[in-house]
Amino acid sequence: MVMKPSLADRLRAVVGGSGVPRVHPDAASPLGTLATVPPSPVVSAAGDAQEVGHDSRRARAERAAAILGGVVDVRADGLCLIVDRTYAADERHGQRRVGDIVDALRQAEDGLESLRRAWPGVGRVVTSTPALDGLCVVDLETTGLAGGAGTQAFLVGCARLDGDGVHVRQFLSPGFEYERAQLAALTEWMGDRTHLLTFNGRTFDLPLLEMRCSFNRVACPWRDLPHLDALHPARRFWREQPALPGVEAEDASCSLGTIERRLAGLHRVGDVPGFEIPARFFQFARDGRAEPLAAVLEHNRLDLLSTLLVAARASMLVVRGPAAADRGHECLGLGRVYERLGETAGAEACFARAAAEGLGVGDAWLRAEALRRLAMLQRRGGRTEAAATSWQALLATRGAPARLRRDAREALAIHQEHRTRNLDAARTLVLDALADQLDGRRRIDAERRLARLDRKLTARPPGALMARFDDEPF
C-alpha cells in the first residue's frame, strides 16, 4: 500500500524547494533578466511534484506589463511590474491644467512648509526647507483596509514634479511572493527623495509600508523624511462646506473624491469602487489576467494628482491669506490653520471676514462659528470687551446653532459678573441658558452661577446702609 505524504512532508518539500523564483540582475539590461536555474518543485494536494517553469512566470508578468503599459523589473528577489506615466502641463485634471497645479505648488512653496510645521511628523525635526523637486507623493492600493500582518500594498504609486508636469511611477507586485522585489524597486527609486506628501498617509500608507519593509528586511529611506499628510489641512478647509449639488449626503464629506469635485470639478467616469480593488488583485494573482487592473492603476494615478491638487490649493491659501479664499468656509478653515500656526492676527482677519460673509449669504452656522472662534481669540489676547462684542453678535445671529448660543450666553454671563459687575444682566443670561434645556455639567454650573448671583444681589454692599440714611430726610 502506498501512503500519501503528510501535510508536514508536503510543507517541508515546498520550503526545501523554495517556491519563490530565483533570479539575478543582468548587467546588459537596466531592469535585469531571469537567471537560468532549474525550476523549483511545487507539490500538489495529491502529493505529486509538479514542475513550474520560471519562463511561464516571467511570460505571465510580461503579458501583464504589455496590457498595463509597463515593463518587468527582474531582481535578485523576484519580479516587479513598473508602469510609468508622464502628465504634461497641458493635460487636464478635471477643470484644472496639470501645469497650473504645479505652478501653484511652486509659487506657494512657503505655504507647503507652513502646513508641515502645523502638522509635524512624529520624531521628525526639519532644520531646512527641502527643495520642491525632491517631493514624492505616495498612495497605496492594498489587499485590505484592516492593516496588520496580512495586509500587503500590492500597488505603490509615486509622483514627482517633472518641470511643469508630473511624472508617476507605479510599482505593481505580480503576486504575493514578489513583495520583496517590489519594495526593493520602490526604495531604490525613492532613495533621492527629500520630503513626502500623502492623503491619510500618516495613519495608514506610511505605517503599512514601513511594516512591510520590516517584514521583508528592506531598509526604507523615507522613515525620517519630512512629511505632510494633506488630509489634515483638507479637513480644516473643506469638511464643513455645504453638500455639493448632485452629491449624496454620505459623500458630502472630506473624502478625496469629494474634494476633487469641489476644487477641480472632476467627476470620475468608470472609476473602480474602492471595495472592488482587493478582489481584482486576488483574481490577477490567481489567473494572471491584468485587464481588470488597468482601472485600478488609473484610480491610483488620479488619487496622486488629486493629492497634489489639495496640497497646492491649501498652500496657496496660506500664502495669499483670506483674500484668496473663494468662499466663507475656506476663509474659516484658513483662520483655523493660522491659529494652529500661532499667527493670531491672520486668524482674526479670517474669522472676521468669514463672519461677514456668513451674514451676507445667510449662513447662520458659518457666521456663528466664525464669531465664536473670533471671540475666543480675543479673550485669550486679553481683549475682553472685544470678545464680549463678538459673543453678543453671535447671540443676535438668527438661526445660530443652540450649542454655539449656549457658549455665548455662558461667556457673556462670566463677563458681566466678573468684568462689568452687572449682576442683573448676568442673572438674565443664566436664566435664559437654563431655559434652553441645559443638561449634564452645563446645567450644574449654571445653577451654581445663578445661586451665587442671587447671594450677591441680596447681600448689602459695605456702606449701603449709611448711604440710605444720608438720602432720607429727617
**Band of the pLDDT at 3, cuts 50, 70, 90?**
low
CA dist 228 and 315 (Å) reads 11
Phi/psi class of residue 213: alpha, beta or left (left: φ > 0; alpha: ψ in -120 to 50)? alpha
**Contact of 333 with 237, CB cutoff 8 Å:** yes
Instruction: State the pLDDT at residue 454.
Output: 84
Lowest mean per-residue pLDDT among 159-163, 284-288, 314-318: 284-288
pLDDT for residue 29: 36
pLDDT at 311 over 60: yes
Residue 163 pLDDT exceeds 90: yes
Does the pLDDT of residue 458 top 60, yes or no? yes
**pLDDT exceeds 70 at position 265:** yes
Distance CA 454, CA 449 (A): 9
Q: In this predicted structure, which of 57-61, 87-91, 302-306, 442-446 has the lowest mean pLDDT?
A: 442-446
Assign 465 a pLDDT band (cuts: 50, 70, 90). very low
Report residue 69's pLDDT band, with 50, 70 and 90 as the boundaries.
very high
Query: Nearest to residue 293, comparing CAs of 302, 283, 303, 306?
Result: 283
pLDDT of residue 56: 82
pLDDT, one tens digit per residue, over 209-231 is 999 999 999 998 888 899 999 99
**Average pLDDT for 15-23:** 39
- Averaged pLDDT, 285-308: 96
CA–CA separation, 372 and 378 (whole Å): 10
Residue whose cell numbers read 474659516: 332
Percent above pLDDT 90 for the chain: 63
Q: What is the pLDDT of residue 316?
A: 97
Q: What is the pLDDT of residue 460?
A: 54
**Average pLDDT score over residue span 80-85:** 98
**pLDDT for the residue 48:** 38
Does residue 308 have a pLDDT over 90?
yes
The closest alpha carbon to 296, from 73, 71, 89, 139, belongs to 139
Q: What's the confidence (pLDDT) of residue 122?
A: 58
* Per-residue confidence (pLDDT) for residue 442, from 0 to 100: 79
Q: Can you say whether the dihedral through the CA atoms of 256, 258, 264, 266 is positive or negative?
A: positive
Query: What Å distances lie between residue 218 and 31, 182, 213, 254, CA to CA?
Result: 19, 10, 5, 34
Residue type (1 letter), 420: T
As a whole number, mean pLDDT of residues 292-309 equals 97
Burial group, residue 107, by CB count within 10 angstroms (0-12, 13-18, 19+): middle
Q: Is the pLDDT reported for residue 295 higher than 90?
A: yes
CATH, range 322-400 = 1.25.40
> For a pLDDT cut of 70, what percent of the chain falls above it?
81
Task: Label residues 141-153 b or e (16+ Cβ within 10 Å = b).
Answer: bbbeeeeeeebbb
How many Å apart are CA 439 and CA 445, to the nearest integer?
10
Domain segments of the chain: what residues? 77-314, 322-400, 401-474
pLDDT bracket for residue 417 (50, 70, 90): confident
Confidence of residue 242 (pLDDT cuts 50, 70, 90): low
Q: What is the pLDDT of residues 312-359, one digit of tens each?
A: 999 999 999 999 998 899 999 999 999 999 999 999 999 999 999 999
Give 99-123 pLDDT, tens digit per residue. Answer: 999 999 999 999 999 999 999 875 5
What pLDDT score was predicted for residue 425?
Answer: 87
Q: In this model, does residue 38 exceed pLDDT 60?
A: no
pLDDT at 145: 78
pLDDT-derived band at 50, boundaries 50, 70, 90: very low
pLDDT band at 55 (very low <50, low <70, confident <90, very high): low
pTM for the complete prediction?
0.81
The mean per-residue pLDDT over the stretch 289-308 comes to 97
Q: What is the mean pLDDT of the chain?
A: 84
In CATH, what number does 77-314 get? 3.30.420.10
